[in-house]
Structure 1
Amino acid sequence: MKKKIAFATCVQLGLSCIEEIYRISGKVDLIITLKDEKAKDKSGRVYLDDFASEHYIPLLKIDNINDQEVLSALKKNQIDWLFIIGWSQIAKKEVLETPSHGCIGMHPTLLPIGRGRAAIPWTIIKGLDETGVTMFKLDEGVDTGDIIGQGVIKLDQNTTATQLYQIVDDMHIKLIEKYWKDIVTNNITLKKQNEIEASEWPGRKPEDGEILSSMTMDDADKLVRAVTHPYPGAFHKVEDKVYRIWSAKTNKDEGSIKLVDGYLIPIDYEIEV
């Protein structure tokens, strides 16, 4: 018997997964998302009303994934698997155990590397030449659950967050297509994460995008590429002005940063006074 699936998301990565499920003739029995007024500035924020209405899927809008109404909806709809994609709140034990088979997440790194927040910006800031997306069964830890499958993504020294977000989105779709049949027929194989290789990356705030004069040219270049769209953007303060930088080119021969007149030359930027 095919499994009953619920999906919790409020970002494009999750919507892309749901769209792929329907493209391959799958079905979702319940969609859970944040209330419209919540997380309006979240990177990749989307609204699921139109898709849910078009496909006659019950849509539950919530404040928190651990709310009692979530548990009630999962029980009422007899959910076997709950996908939680692009969701900042940590699901607690009761939520994880309410679906008969558990919960599935995806994380845009090759776990156990890069557990935690802001995976796409950190990948660029750290200058990695390889990353990926991991599909895994959620447990009570942060990105610590057993792995269902992974997809590898290659990067170069010009990759931007905009480009990587799209590649990550495409990889989410590929993993859904690859493992959907195994999930709905309860035929997945789980692999433990190697704790020896584990690392955790902290969250980032908009103010972490400030370009400082003490930075090297390489560090500034990485920061601009790491926090461009869909993120808040890099910025540099010059007296009473703030330069919001979405893309830039660098003079690698120079060892320090001087905005506009000098070495980090904005291609696409806004000036805030």
Structure 2
Amino acid sequence: MNQTPKHAVVFAYHDVGVACLQALIDAGMQIDLVITHADDPNETIWFSSVQKLCEQRGLPCRIVQQSALLNLVSEIKAIAPDYLFSFYYRFMLPTELLETATIAALNMHGSLLPKYRGRAPVNWAVVNGETETGATLHVMEAKPDAGDIVGQVAVSIEIHETAKEVFDKVSQAAKQVMEKLLPQLMQGKLPRRPNPLTEGSYFGGRKPEDGRIDWTKSAMSIYNLIRAVAPPYPGAFTELSGEKVILTKSSLPLDPGVALSPSQAAILKKSGLGMHLVDNRYFGLCGDGKALEVFLAKEH
């Protein structure tokens, strides 16, 4: 006996949105409506387009402003979808929308909940020197990233990886989460386990100004910041000869007495904390006495 197909309304954007929407398509989910964002003209668009995928697959797709989300309630109520999905959609969905799902409203989050709730979870994980993160599908509630966990897949964070490289892995992990769960979801089954609020923390969004380097911090802390906001993100920055410079990458922390010649180490120590040009190479002396060789955006 053929199973009645499950219906979904999907809010999606970015690489995670494309990957998870493709997983729904591949599984045979009936997608009645896709809501996405207009690209921000002030943002570097380095990621895939949900709107283009919908055009290619003939899916109904609309761009809806945050202020107009409540206007969708009656329309989606009439659809009565089994599932409402949010895949890296940037706006919080009102509870009135969440309640339109007859089985569940589910969100894909780019961390291993309950860790790193909130905004920019991949960037924060790299800033904090984590060695693991992942993607988590969870039930949506009024409070963000607080509902029961439905499934998750972990990925490693290697010491040399930038946030973009980690994000690419998280995007694939998100698709793997969907592929593992969809056989159950298509049967109307929803595995769930607690997502304890007492564990993990909420993190806020990151602004370009958050990339300012504080040279009093440890070399490893600064190294992690540089790779956490490396292009295509705005980049870490500091001042050199009174001018702002953006750093695209750095070496791992160096012991100046070992990694540099005695004269170079002496110059760096005499120059004090901060970034300096030594023998046509840029080094930053950090608060723990270690150094980073840093590379400027104009050099790439």
TM-score of the two chains, using structure 1 as the length reference: 0.89
2:26 matched to 1:23? yes
Report the counterpart of residue 238 of structure 1 in structure 2. 240
Q: 1 CA distance for matches of 2:41 and 2:35? A: 14
Q: Which 10-residue stretch deviates more, 188-197 or 69-78?
A: 69-78
- Say if 1:30 and 1:77, in contact at 8 Å, map to a contact too: no
Report the counterpart of residue 153 of structure 1 in structure 2. 155
- Say if 1:8 and 1:32, in contact at 8 Å, map to a contact too: yes
- Matched to 1:20, the amino acid is A
- Say if 1:108 and 1:133, in contact at 8 Å, map to a contact too: yes
Instruction: Go from structure 1 to structure 2 and tell me whether the alpha carbon gap of 1:23 and 1:91 turns closer, same or farther (over 3 Å shift).
Output: same
Give the deviation of 1:137 after TM superposition.
Answer: 0.8
1:1-45: CA deviation from partner (whole Å, max 9, x where unpaired): 221112111211111111233334444221101235x47527765
Report the structure number with the largest CA radius of gyration: 2
Report the counterpart of residue 251 of structure 2 in structure 1. 249
Match of 1:8 among 1, 7, 11: 11
- Say if 1:65 and 1:91, in contact at 8 Å, map to a contact too: no
- Matched to 1:219, the amino acid is S
- Say if 2:223 and 2:253, in contact at 8 Å, map to a contact too: no
Q: Which 10-residue stretch deviates more, 221-230 or 45-54?
A: 45-54
Greater helix share, 1 or 2?
2
Report the counterpart of residue 137 of structure 1 in structure 2. 139
> How many residues in Structure 1 have an aligned counterpart in Structure 2?
270
TM-score of the two chains, using structure 2 as the length reference: 0.81
Report the counterpart of residue 269 of structure 1 in structure 2. 297
Q: 2 CA distance for matches of 1:61 and 1:162? A: 26
Instruction: Go from structure 1 to structure 2 and tell me whether the alpha carbon gap of 1:21 and 1:202 turns closer, same or farther (over 3 Å shift).
Output: same
Give the deviation of 1:259 after TM superposition.
Answer: 4.4
Identical-residue share of aligned pairs (%) = 24
1:234-264: CA deviation from partner (whole Å, max 9, x where unpaired): 1112244221122222452149542443343
Q: 2 CA distance for matches of 1:175 and 1:15? A: 14
Q: Which 10-residue stretch deviates more, 99-108 or 253-262?
A: 253-262
Match of 1:258 among 270, 275, 287: 275
- Matched to 2:294, the amino acid is P
- Say if 1:245 and 1:269, in contact at 8 Å, map to a contact too: yes
Q: Which 10-residue stretch deviates more, 48-57 or 100-109?
A: 48-57
User: What are the equivalent positions in structure 2 for 1:53-68 lying under 5 Å apart?
Assistant: 53-64=55-66, 67-68=69-70
Q: 2 CA distance for matches of 1:10 and 1:163? A: 18
Q: Which 10-residue stretch deviates more, 74-83 or 114-123?
A: 74-83
- Matched to 2:14, the amino acid is V
User: What are the equivalent positions in structure 2 for 1:54-133 lying under 5 Å apart?
Assistant: 54-64=56-66, 67-133=69-135
Q: 2 CA distance for matches of 1:40 and 1:185? A: 43
Give the deviation of 1:268 after TM superposition.
Answer: 5.3
1:57-80: CA deviation from partner (whole Å, max 9, x where unpaired): 111111017623322332343322
- Matched to 1:265, the amino acid is E
Q: Indicate the RMSD between aligned Cα atoms, in angstroms.
A: 2.3
- Say if 1:34 and 1:64, in contact at 8 Å, map to a contact too: no
- Say if 1:64 and 1:89, in contact at 8 Å, map to a contact too: yes
**What are the ranges of 5 or more consecutive residues in structure 2 without an aligned counterpart?**
257-268, 285-291
Instruction: Go from structure 1 to structure 2 and tell me whether the alpha carbon gap of 1:75 and 1:222 turns closer, same or farther (over 3 Å shift).
Output: same
Q: Which 10-residue stretch deviates more, 188-197 or 139-148?
A: 188-197
- Say if 1:39 and 1:45, in contact at 8 Å, map to a contact too: no
- Matched to 2:186, the amino acid is V
- Matched to 1:142, the amino acid is P
Instruction: Go from structure 1 to structure 2 and tell me whether the alpha carbon gap of 1:159 and 1:47 turns closer, same or farther (over 3 Å shift).
Output: closer
